[in-house]
Structure 1
Amino acid sequence: MRYRNLVLFLALAVAWGSAFTAIKAGLEFFPPVLFAAFRYDAAGVLMLAYAVYATDQWRPVSRQEWYLVGVGGLLLIAAYHAFLFVGEQGTTSAAAAIIVSLSPVLTTGFARGLLPDERLTALGIAGLLLGFAGVVVLSNPDPSNLVTRSTVSQLLVFLAAASFALGSVLTRRIDADLPIETMEAWSMLLGAVLMHVVSRLLGESVAGVEWTADAVLALAYLVVVASALGFLVYFDLLERLGPIEINFVSYAAPVVAAVTGFLVLQETPSVFTVAGFTLIVIGFALLKRDALRDEVRSIRRSIGTRD
């Protein structure tokens, strides 16, 4: 199929962008951290089944592989989703998706500090600062009261993005040859366990869940569409497109979140939301300018070869 990659890319953007709306809708019925834990209880089992089917190594064996799973479970799954689900209680789907889209920018910043081969140029620093400025503009804080519900919620979502970015960098530092499907499956299961512990510490309980049809639909959508099917598409595209192009899903997802948030929850993005998103995208372009330039050249060569 000639446009297979484009179709899959758009499908992934829709799955992951609409997930922010599904989270927001489900929070009406679930305690937030318990909601996230339920999501990865089921998603982890599905991903593990896929790892058994698709890989030659369905479980970690070495100490380094377990370290990899530990970092993934703690930062990429537990910390990221706990902060995100709690934070989305006080902000819109689109705003949460836009703040999370800062992750590739933060990843570059952490990489410059933690990976010895990475260096940050003046333009790279400008890109990083623009990304942070985008979050500030989006949140539009009131100087006289910086602890409003909206501002605190968006700070929590920012911590979610930072957790994911830090986890992405730390996993690169661990020398473990574990299939990505296996790493994701065990990270999901470990992350789910950690979130259940945090949920109990916060006083959440299953008794606080309202098991309505809408609640089940939101949870099922997150498990099946956003997690299971979404990650399968992601793995396929990662192999075909590489890590630079796949990063653009982070910038297509907020558009989907804004549309679905408006259609499903009647959320209306503000001018600050749009301005903040624009600054974050520009910051990403400055940080990844060399890689983006190489991708453009590669696409041009590919088009020239077909012609």
Structure 2
Amino acid sequence: MTVLGHASFFAGRPVVEVPASGPLPAVDGPVAWRIDYPDWDNRTDETPSPGFRDRFDRFVDQTGESVQALVVGAWGYAAFNPAPIDQLCAAAPRLPNLTALFLGDIVSEECEISWMRVGDVSRLLVAYPRLESLRVRGGENFRFSPVRHGRLSRLEVESGGLRPEFVRAVLDSELPALTDLELWLGDPTYGGDTTVDDLAPLLAGQRFPALRRLGLCNAQIADDLAEALAAAPVVRRLETLDLSLGTLTDRGALALAGGQPLTHLTMLDLSHHYVTDEVVATVQATLAGVAVNLSDPQTPYIEGDEVYRYTVVSE
């Protein structure tokens, strides 16, 4: 499966589209402005889209200091045009009140997630020291560098295949205010070679002291993650644990149910899974006081002696 729908809410605000031309629509209360420039001109020179550049500059001229939340959709054809990170960083002095940014609200019919050319998204944190929420999506040339940021409380990284270098750079960052971390680890076929060992400092509770919600989602290694989390110190201070969108089977689910106590959690999200009905009942009985999401059960695809299980987002 792939990403099928644009965000309708972001950072607790309804998303409002920036029109292609003319004035911005009147809004009632705080909104997240969404700007995009879909373009399939088949250029292969891998340069920023001039159409997006002009539309974004016009939008900033219209809104300036009033923008608090921004969603960036298609920036041309994202397989050829790199993400407008340079432009976003350069615009920071004109967007002094931006606290929430989503880069990459692009669905599969616009560009497959594994084709999206992005770049080093940590530069956005350097440019916007007041940012509290950063959500990024991408695949090709998707990078992160260790950074220190004092205000970021929510970081969401969505990918069909998140490389170990990206994950390790996130974990090497100093983010003292981070309460919510979500990483879509993906499929090795698309570069998602991250292992439990790469996550060791996080699982040991050595990173991000304010962390209360951890999502290790969309993962082919969901069972390995579950087994590690069954004894991981970080779990003891979490309120929400999210292993959704991945390939969790009975092995991982039983490890969670039989590991360290999870009754302190308010939510355990295991949706989109390959867990049998019998084990689902076991998990629910063991964690009777926890909101456990075991919706969207999947059936493996079997071809000969091969059994295939798929994450929600890979291509």
TM over 0.5: no
Specify which structure has the higher proportion of strand: 2
Q: Shorter-chain TM-score: which interval?
A: under 0.3
Instruction: Give the structure-2-normalised TM-score.
Output: 0.21
Structure number having the greater helix percentage: 1
Structure of higher CA gyration radius: 2
Larger relative contact order (Cα-Cα within 8 Å, sequence gap ≥ 6): 1
- Give the TM-score normalised by the residue count of structure 1: 0.22
